[in-house]
Amino acid sequence: MATSGTRAFSLDVATAIEEAYELAGLEGRTSYDAVTARRSMNIMFADWSNRGIQMWEVTKVELTLTQGTNEYTLNSYDIDVLDVYIERTENNVVTDYTLDRVDRNEYVNIPNKLTQARPTELWVERKKSPVIHLYPTPENSTDKLVYYVWQTIEDSAAQVNDVDIPTRFMPCLVSGLAYYLCLKKNVQKLPVIKQQYEQDLTNALRYDEDRSPVRLVPKQEYI
């Protein structure tokens, strides 16, 4: 028997919404039905971010430091900073120095934050756009700050856009969106859909935990 020979299946926003409406026992007939479904999808993605589910959205960033500058503002879609190190090149030899993460209280109690040397500690200020505070203050403009940053899932915008998730999360995307739609339009079916959503989400997360020793293939950005 012939097979397709392809492995490129994906869900665009419109198809995911259609599947979710069908699972919820509903019909999306109007343009407003599509708008409210996209809104619910983005709210669900925000909930996934709060739960730490979107581990595929980890990006490696390399930032050249500036002497005398100890604060660096990240993007508004950056949630948190994971592993961080200083990359220093001397005599054509590259050496990585890991930074220790401190909390706000520890950082505030550093007596002279403007002391210049190779940074050894950082505090991440969790603003709407997070800010990295380094201590000591960078002593040159050649060292690189290399870090892995955890980012939000991309919004579901145009109907023709693909949804920003791996294939294994497609079932829980559909059942999760169906759950949100049932909250609004079909509460009678809510218990069944909720159970399906929880099972689909558990299956996807179990794949991450048990079968993938290396889970991240980060994108790389240069600043």
Residue 125: per-residue pLDDT: 95
pLDDT in tens, 40-98: 999 998 888 888 776 677 889 999 999 999 999 999 888 888 889 999 999 999 999 99
Please state, as a whole number, how many other Cβ atoms lie within 10 Å of the Cβ of residue 197: 23
Please, which residues have CB within 8 angstroms of residue 208's CB and are 6 or more apart in sequence?
A: 55, 215
CB contact at 8 A, 120 and 99: yes
Q: What is the 3-state secondary structure (H, E, C) of 97-115?
A: EECEECCHHHHHCCCCCCC
pLDDT in tens, 139-156: 999 999 999 988 887 777
Residue that is written with structure tokens 């919820």 in the block: 24
* CA nearest to 156, candidates 11, 1, 9, 51: 11
* Rounded CA separation 143/138 (Å): 8
Band the pLDDT of 163: cuts 50, 70, 90.
confident
pLDDT in tens, 177-216: 999 999 999 999 999 999 999 999 999 888 765 444 444 4
pTM for the model stands at: 0.66
